[in-house]
Amino acid sequence: MQYADRQLEILALRPSPFGDDPDVEEARATLRERAAQKQPGPAMATVRDIEVEGLPARLYRPRPEASPLVLYLHAGGWTVGGIDSADRLCRRLAVAAESAVLSLDYRLAPEHPWPASVDDAVGAMRWIAAAPAELGGLGPWGALGDSAGGTLVTLACLRLRSEDPAALPAVQALIYANTDLTGSMPSMRENAAGGGLDPKAIRWFNSQWVADESRWGEEGVSPLATADLSGMPPALIVSAERDPLRDELEAYAERLREAGVTVTARREPGMIHNFLQMDEGSPAAAAAADRVGRELGDLLRTA
């Protein structure tokens, strides 16, 4: 397999920022430092820090009348990251999707282990569906998450499907998401090195979120373990060819299709995990990030 471009190959082969025996606070500080070194993202018509069900959030509008809306749940293994580390990405997504973006600062593990972050995602979806005044006029809306954020998007949809289907988004978008915490798929071994995410780091993130490893394969934790996926929102699913999590996400897309869910799925050739955050260093990653935004915007406008 080839990388999408030379710049992406260099990024893929860098040592993990989290080290062999990560400390949570050090990992968070490393991510904040890297985010601070990035160039600002595209200018917005408005950017407002607001509160969603008691949690910090940031609302981006690329133009005053921007509609529809995308709820964004960030990557970071449920343990690191936040609205500041995702700021550049949210601005880029807003432009590409021609949509407002609402970035949620959900609670992080290990201080707030599973299911706290799922609860936060559910609460945010219910809040959006109630069309609060802070959002202005609200048309079709979607929820996008990358990596751990994608796990939260679909776990929240699974819960709302049963508890409050009126609060479901029109589209759920999962980008290189973790759908099987057991790590049993071939891509976990095939892309163990140079895939943008070390399998050892995956296990560390998993353990911060769900300390009891015997629960990693349960429904409500691993989306792929869900017996019945019918009634879920239409899905945009984008996997990365060199990602350790590739096979499990593609298997989840197939399971959704088998359950009668409308699925738009594709594999980004030559891409690695976390490519949405690599637009500065890789022209190919930047183009792939823009494709995700445009595709989600198109799906929402036809929902």
Q: 33-83 pLDDT, tens per residue?
A: 888 888 999 999 999 999 999 999 999 999 987 679 999 999 999 999 999
Annotated catalytic residue, options 180, 222, 239, 273: 273
Residue type for position 183? G
pLDDT tens profile 120-148: 999 999 999 998 888 876 788 999 999 99
pLDDT at 265: 98
pLDDT tens profile 51-61: 999 999 999 99
- Cis-peptide into 110, omega within 30 deg: yes
243 is catalytic: yes
**Closest by Cα among 35, 267, 281, 96 to 174:** 267
pLDDT at 27: 87
3-class DSSP state for residue 138?
A: coil
99 is catalytic: no
| pTM attached to this predicted model | 0.97
User: What is the second-level CATH architecture of the domain 6-301?
Assistant: 3-Layer(aba) Sandwich (3.40)
pLDDT at 137: 67
Annotated catalytic residue, options 67, 147, 207, 222: 147
74 is catalytic: no
Determine how many CB atoms are found less than 10 A away from the CB of residue 2.
Answer: 10
Annotated catalytic residue, options 243, 247, 279, 282: 243
Domain boundaries, the chain: 6-301
**Which segments in the chain show pLDDT lower than 50?**
none
**Closest by Cα among 163, 49, 183 to 103:** 49
pLDDT at 19: 63
From residue 187, give the alpha-carbon distance in Å to each of 68, 146, 148, 182, 193.
Answer: 35, 18, 17, 13, 11
Residue 21 tokens, joined: 């025996």
Beta strands in the chain (DSSP E): 46-52, 55-61, 69-73, 100-104, 141-146, 171-175, 235-240, 263-268
Give burial (CB, 10 Å; 0-12/13-18/19+) of 166.
exposed
